[in-house]
């Protein structure tokens, strides 16, 4: 007699559409692989080897997501789309949400590696740092004047381009990426003269994230600077916006990532939950305030021995200066417990 076992399955189709369309699944698989390489490089390697692997991961991520795979990586918008589609087309809902889930899971487990090791926009912004560093070497006054001159010129150019590419209909809805770019340059007018306001201005990114999500929820198709890199169609508004992001990065290091990126704001908060963080083994009294660590940090996340964990992108550059290192709080807790027991 044949044994009959009634089985009730919740998932009737494979969650990842690998068998039928491996191309659809590839961005997710590659994102997972690249995040794993980043975690290995960040926590297993040291010094220049770590930085070489980081550069390699950034280049690989750029090739994978910009050149080979035209798949939108907009994790926040995808998340909203996915929620909307759940129950109607679970497979597509999953495809939209999986990018955010992978980034979120790695960020909670391993820290904000996505920003410092993978994001092509972050890598491009970081590449602009040579200009900010060159300006810093001119001295404070000249750096400020050159910054204002560049900013004024760029703001006029970007605002004009944003106006030129604006569609006749849905000005706001279809031009939102360009407007975000203009907003970034306006913000830099406040950031440039007063370094002490940096921490306050960094909070603007939370407003940006709420606005971004809010617009997605009410049905505005929110494009962003990534779209022109990741999408498979030319979106002029995104092009203007990416120009603003890159030129903003010449005026203030990683300006977009520091002040306005909605995804960066979200993963920055999630990274607070991660057990792996940058710490300094020096006590505040041992720190001589030489400023070496501040000079290398692209996000201005360091204040003597203190780290702003919502801004840190886990690039590891400060670990080559005194006392800073990646620390796994779980491992520290275990070793402290072992010491306590002995
Ligand atoms: S802050 Fe935004 S743009 Fe910058 S690296 Fe992170 S996700 Fe990319
Ligand atoms: S604190 Fe260190 S790891 Fe974090 S962004 Fe700055 S230099 Fe990179």
Domain limits, the chain: 22-120
Q: Please list the pLDDT of the chain residue by residue as tens digits (342 residues).
A: 455 555 555 555 555 555 556 666 777 788 889 999 999 999 999 889 999 999 999 999 988 877 766 556 677 777 888 888 887 877 778 777 888 888 999 999 999 999 999 998 899 999 999 999 898 888 888 888 988 999 999 999 999 998 888 887 777 777 888 888 999 999 998 888 877 788 999 999 999 999 888 888 887 777 777 776 666 566 788 888 999 999 999 999 999 999 999 999 999 999 999 999 999 988 888 888 888 999 999 999 998 889 999 999 999 999 988 889 999 888 766 655 555 555
Q: What DSSP element (H or E) covers 71?
A: none
Cβ neighbour number for residue 156 with a 10 Å cutoff? 11
Please give the biggest Cα pair distance in the chain. 91
Q: Which ligand is nearest to the CA of 266?
A: 1
**Ligand 2 lining (C-beta closer than 6 Å):** 278, 296-299, 301-302, 307, 312-318
Looking at residue 275, the DSSP 8-state letter turns out to be S
Pick the residue whose CA is nearest to atom 8 on ligand 2.
315
- Pocket-testing residue among 34, 65, 118, 122, ligand 1, by greatest number of atoms within 8 A of Cβ: 122
Per DSSP bridges, beta strands 324-328 and 276-280 are: antiparallel
The three-class DSSP label of residue 312 is coil
- Pocket-testing residue among 261, 276, 315, ligand 2, by greatest number of atoms within 8 A of Cβ: 315
Phi-psi region of 254 (alpha: psi -120 to 50; beta: other; left: phi over 0): left
Distance between CA atoms of 114 and 306, rounded to whole angstroms? 22
39: CB partners within 8 A, 6+ apart = 106, 110, 113
Q: Which ligand is nearest to the CA of 300?
A: 2
Burial of 189 (0-12, 13-18, 19+ CB in 10 A): middle
Residue 103 CB less than 6 A away from ligand 1: no
pTM over 0.85: yes
Q: What are phi and psi of 307, to 5 degrees?
A: -120, 130
Computed over every residue of the chain, the mean pLDDT equals 84
The three-class DSSP label of residue 288 is coil
């Amino acid at each position: 007699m044949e044994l009959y076992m009634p089985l009730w399955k919740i998932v009737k189709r494979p969650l990842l559409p690998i068998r039928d369309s491996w191309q659809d699944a590839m961005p997710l698989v590659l994102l997972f692989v690249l995040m794993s390489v980043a975690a290995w490089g960040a926590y297993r390697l040291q010094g220049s080897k770590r930085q070489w692997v980081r550069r390699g991961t950034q280049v690989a991520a750029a090739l994978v997501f910009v050149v080979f795979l035209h798949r939108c990586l907009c994790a926040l918008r995808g998340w909203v789309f996915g929620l909307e589609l759940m129950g109607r087309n679970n497979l597509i809902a999953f495809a939209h949400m999986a990018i955010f889930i992978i980034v979120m899971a790695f960020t909670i487990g391993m820290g904000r590696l996505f920003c410092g090791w993978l994001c092509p926009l972050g890598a491009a912004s970081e590449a602009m740092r040579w200009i900010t560093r060159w300006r810093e070497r001119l001295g404070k006054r000249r750096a400020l004047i050159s910054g204002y001159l560049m900013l004024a010129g760029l703001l006029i150019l970007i605002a004009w381009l944003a106006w030129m590419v604006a569609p006749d209909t849905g000005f706001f809805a279809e031009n939102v990426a360009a407007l975000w770019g203009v907003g970034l340059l306006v913000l830099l007018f406040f950031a440039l003269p007063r370094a002490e306001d940096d921490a306050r201005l960094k909070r603007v990114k939370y407003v940006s994230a709420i606005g971004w999500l809010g617009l997605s929820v009410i049905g505005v198709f929110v494009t962003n600077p990534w779209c022109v890199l990741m999408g498979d169609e030319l979106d002029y508004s995104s092009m203007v916006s990416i120009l603003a992001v890159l030129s903003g990065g010449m005026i203030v290091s990683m300006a977009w990532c520091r002040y306005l990126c909605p995804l960066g704001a979200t993963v920055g908060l999630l990274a607070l939950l991660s057990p792996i963080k940058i710490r300094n083994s020096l006590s505040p009294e041992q720190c001589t305030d030489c400023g070496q660590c501040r000079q290398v940090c692209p996000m201005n996340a360091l204040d003597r021995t203190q780290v702003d964990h919502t801004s840190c992108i886990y690039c590891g550059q400060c670990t080559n200066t005194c006392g800073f290192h990646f620390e796994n709080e779980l491992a520290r807790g275990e070793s402290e417990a072992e010491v306590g027991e002995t």
